[in-house]
Chains A and B, each alone.
Chain A
Amino acid sequence: MKREGEVRIPSGCAIAAVISKEGKRMTAGKIIDAMKPMHDRSNGLGGGFAGYGIYPEYKDFYALHLFFDCRDTRKACEAFLKERFEMIKGELIPTRKIPEITDEPIIWRYFVAPLKSVLADLQLDEKEFVARTVMKINTEMKGAYVFSSGKNMGTFKAVGFPEDVGRFYRLDEYEGYSWTAHGRYPTNTPGWWGGAHPFTLLDYSVVHNGEISSYDANRRFIEMFGYKCTLQTDTEVITYILDYLIRVQGLTLDEAASVIAAPFWSTVENKTDKDERDKLRFLRTVFPSFLITGPFSIVLGFDGGLMALNDRLKLRSMVVGEKNDTVFIASEEAAIRAMEPDAEHIWAPSGGEPVVVKVKEGAY
């Protein structure tokens, strides 16, 4: 079988997310329940989760999750990592053998801190260094793939239905203040473990339902800034664009949303607020190649929060609900009801309207 990145087949999918604004930690039980009524939106070729606040005991270290094809690759990769990082722990990610999930690669995690001497030598800040290391492994080290690289967060993904993937990774044993989930129905690529969602870089993770039509235009532009898209998967390019806009360019989440889901010029010209109009014009003019066209609904996870966003034409569904301090987001209301039968204020954000939910300061 051809691997992810070697072939592109022209996605229906399911996404869900939950976050406690008070920073209360919850197991993945709720988010796994959310994926059950949306079973038919995926086809068993990919499922995954991202949990935030799951590694409090190692919160000052980058948690690298890696797939390896064989032991030699792992040994070589560990040697490479040790040249650049202080490694305080390396272990197999605990999994459960279940008949629904087969052909798993070797799955490890490492808690690491970049060596100060290396950073000084390269004159890079910590995050940029980690991002570049991830790119280097994923493009140059055959058989090794970093699929999670943030602090106090982790991504878990596999080929299978999402509810099975949750059981496989024993996610009921983790507790986080926010979770995102994805059920995949791949339409462009064959469905390999690395191609499952969430896609991550540092603490940013993206789950995506849709099929963007600007993939190549976006890819060509983002690759000018050192990012390497290795999987031909549109979600990967969205993740890198958001990392670039938010971390590197310092845009706010709302501004980044106005870049990737920019309103039509006619909508911008009809804004009555002059400052808003000028700002939208500015963002569309400066970052035209980051406009993402075609259908998407995404949830971006980051340290301390979530952002949900639809494409500007709203060609995919997305529903938001609340209960007490907890906010729920999903492709279908049925999924929200599966997490919280009494969820309130159910609403559907408009196309291009970001929904940002943050954990209160100091609670994560």
Chain B
Amino acid sequence: MIIDAERLGNREINEILRGREKRYTLRGCTGQRFIAAGMSDKEITIEGIPGNALGAYLNGARITVKGNAQDAVGDTMNDGEIVIHGSIGDAAGYAMRGGAVFVRDSAGYRAGIHMKAYNDKIPVMVIGGYAGSFLGEYQAGGVIVVLGLHAGTKRIVGNFPCTGMHGGKMILRSDCEEVRFPEQVHARSASEEDREEIRRFVSAYCARFGEQEEDIMDAPFTVVTPNSKNPYKQLYVAN
């Protein structure tokens, strides 16, 4: 079902999306917030610019945006998939605890902030271009992958990545010589075993955006995890 969203408010849009159809296409979005919030078994395609908190609390629905998205994509997302054929704003995947976000181009500040995981719930965020500062701030679980494609002279990640990270994994397609990580994390170059895992994410990215898997894999990767020998402990309380 095709919906002309230009003059609709965010509540009206979500009411329509909760209808009987499985597939919806929103045309001419003009920044309406909370699109598809909490939705489960839907497939939603968006043209125009969706507003902040796209797919907040998403619970299994699949969203494809044919352009850029704004701030807080996938806020507290539980399951499903968001695919952005463009760039995203700040704080994407805030406290995300399941599902996947694929971004063709770049992400703003604080992507993956407070991302977490529980048992089989392991959220994944793959960013094709570069990521802004505070990537993975307070990351507690899940996987954040940044590929640095078409980034030009821009460094793959801004300042202060992994600040407060105490769980999960971050993968950067770079030797990261210019990146400064905090002392509480451990950055290593990817092992063969790591590269097998990385290939899965790269392959999924390529399937969505038509890039060449081999070209992307032909590069150094850095894997960052919390440093269990030097954890964030007794920083605020004597625990």
Q: Given the known inter-chain contacts A37-B31, A332-B70, A334-B31, please indicate yes or no for A350 contacting B49, CB distance below 8 A.
A: no
A335 and B31 in contact (CB under 8 A), knowing A314-B90, A314-B133? yes
Within 8 A of B (CB), among A261-315: 264, 267, 270, 313-314
Q: How many of B's residues come within 8 Å of A, CB to CB? A: 24
Nearest CB on A from B17, distance (A): 18
Using A317-B90, A332-B52, A333-B49 as known contacts, say yes or no to A350 and B68 having CB atoms under 8 A apart.
no
- Alpha-carbon separation in the docked complex, A338 to B49 (Å): 10
Interface size class of A (residues with CB under 8 A): 20 to 34
Residues in A neighbouring B48, C-beta threshold 8 A? 334, 337
Task: List chain B residues, Cβ under 8 A from A171.
Answer: none
Give residues 84-133 of B contacting A (CB, 8 Å). Answer: 87, 89-90, 108-109, 132-133
Shortest C-beta distance, A311 to chain B (Å), equals 11
B38 proximal to A (CB < 8 A): no
Are the C-beta atoms of B49 and A270 separated by less than 8 Å? Answer: no
Query: Given the complex of chains A and B, what is the CA–CA distance between A40 and B71 in angstroms?
Result: 15
Give the residues in chain A near B32, CB-CB below 8 Å: 37
Measured between beta carbons, the chain B residues less than 8 angstroms from A37 are 30-32, 51
Bound state CA distance, A338 and B31, in angstroms?
10
Question: Interface residues of B: mostly helix, strand, loop or mixed?
Answer: loop
Whether A351 is near chain B, meaning CB under 8 Å from some CB there, is yes
Pick from B10, B89, B134: contact of A348, CB below 8 A.
Answer: B89
Please, which residue of chain A has its CB at the minimum distance from the CB of B72? A317
CA distance A38 to B49 in the complex (A): 12
Contact yes or no, B90 A334, CB < 8 A: no
Chain A: which residue is nearest B68 at the CB level? A333
Q: Answer yes or no: B64 CB below 8 A from chain A CBs.
A: no
Provide the B120-153 mask, 1 if CB < 8 A to any CB of A, else 0. 0000000000001110000000000000000000
Contact call A350/B31, Cβ cutoff below 8 A:
no
Nearest chain B residue, comparing its CB with the CB of A335: B31
- Complex Cα distance A256/B65, Å? 39
Q: Evaluate contact between B180 and A38: CB separation under 8 angstroms.
A: no
Is A357 an interface position by the 8 A CB rule? no
> How close is B216's CB to chain A, nearest CB, in angstroms?
23
- B-side contacts of A38, CB under 8 Å: 31
Query: For the complex, what is the distance from the CA of A40 to the CA of B11, rounded to whole Å?
Result: 12
Residues of A within 8 A of B45 (CB): none
Q: How far is the CA of A333 from the CA of B159 in the complex (A)?
A: 24
Q: Which of B30, B33, B109, B158 contacts A337 (CB 8 A)?
A: B30
Q: Within the assembled complex, what's the spacing in Å between the Cα atoms of A38 and B30? A: 9
A114 and B71 alpha carbons, distance in the complex (Å): 48
Residues of chain A from 309 to 364 with CB closer than 8 A to chain B in the complex: 313-314, 317, 319, 332-335, 337-338, 346, 348, 350-351
CB distance from B8 to the nearest CB of A (A): 12
Docked CA distance A351–B89 (Å): 13
Instruction: Give CA–CA (A350, B133) in the complex, Å.
Output: 8
Chain B 1-38 per-residue mask, 1 if CB under 8 angstroms from chain A, else 0: 00000000010000000000000000001111100000
| Interfacial chain A residues near B71, Cβ < 8 Å | 317, 332
Separation of A186 and B109 alpha carbons in the complex (Å):
25
**Cα of A345 to Cα of B134 in the assembled complex, Å:** 24
Contact residue among A267, A313, A334 (Cβ-Cβ distance under 8 Å from B51): A334
Contact B70 A317, beta carbon cutoff 8 Å = yes
Residues of B within 8 A of A267 (CB): 159
Which residues of chain A come closer than 8 Å to B70, judged between CB atoms? 317, 332-334
User: Chain A residues with Cβ under 8 A from B132's Cβ?
Assistant: 314, 348, 350
Q: Contacts A317-B70, A317-B89 given; indicate if A332 touches B108 (C-beta within 8 A).
A: no
Q: Mark A10-46, 1 if CB is under 8 A from B, else 0.
A: 0000000000000000000000000011101000000
Q: Apart from A317-B108, A333-B49, A337-B30, what 12 extra A-B contacts exist at CB < 8 Å?
A: A37-B51, A270-B180, A314-B132, A332-B31, A332-B52, A332-B71, A333-B68, A334-B51, A338-B30, A346-B68, A348-B89, A350-B133
Top 3 A-B residue pairs of the complex, sorted by shortest distance between their CB atoms = A334-B31, A37-B31, A334-B49
